[in-house]
Amino acid sequence: MKISFTQSGGFAGLVLSCRIDTAVLEVTERETVERLVIAAGIEESCECVSETARDAVTYEIVIERTTQVRVVFDEIRLPEEARPLVAYLKGHARPGGV
């Protein structure tokens, strides 16, 4: 499984990103990522952002398995169950991606 993550927007408009390939992770780390992805419940592509909010941080997650799923949330509409995954990915994200 490959995961591409891009954080953008927010007042500062910073763009941070990371790409994780579970095939190259150690077993415990791979299991952690797989557990977070399952818990996040991301099974279908969707875009879920507030129409009225301004300066909210936007998260884009692309998960490649046998099929590809792309979801976009902002911090206001981010589902509770996806927050641990986003927290993990934010911890690995670095400047860049523009």
Which residues of the shown chain bind another protein in the complex (CB under 8 A)?
6, 8-16, 41, 44-58, 60, 71, 73, 75-81, 83-84, 86-87, 94-98
Q: Is 43 helix (H, G, I), strand (E, B) or coil?
A: coil
Least Cβ distance, residue 37 to another protein (angstroms): 13
Q: Least distance to another protein from the beta carbon of 23, Å?
A: 25
Rounded to whole angstroms, the Cα distance separating 4 from 11 reads 23
Q: What distance in Å separates the CA atoms of residue 91 and residue 98, rounded to the nearest whole number? A: 19
* Residue 23 or 39 with smaller CB distance to another protein: 39
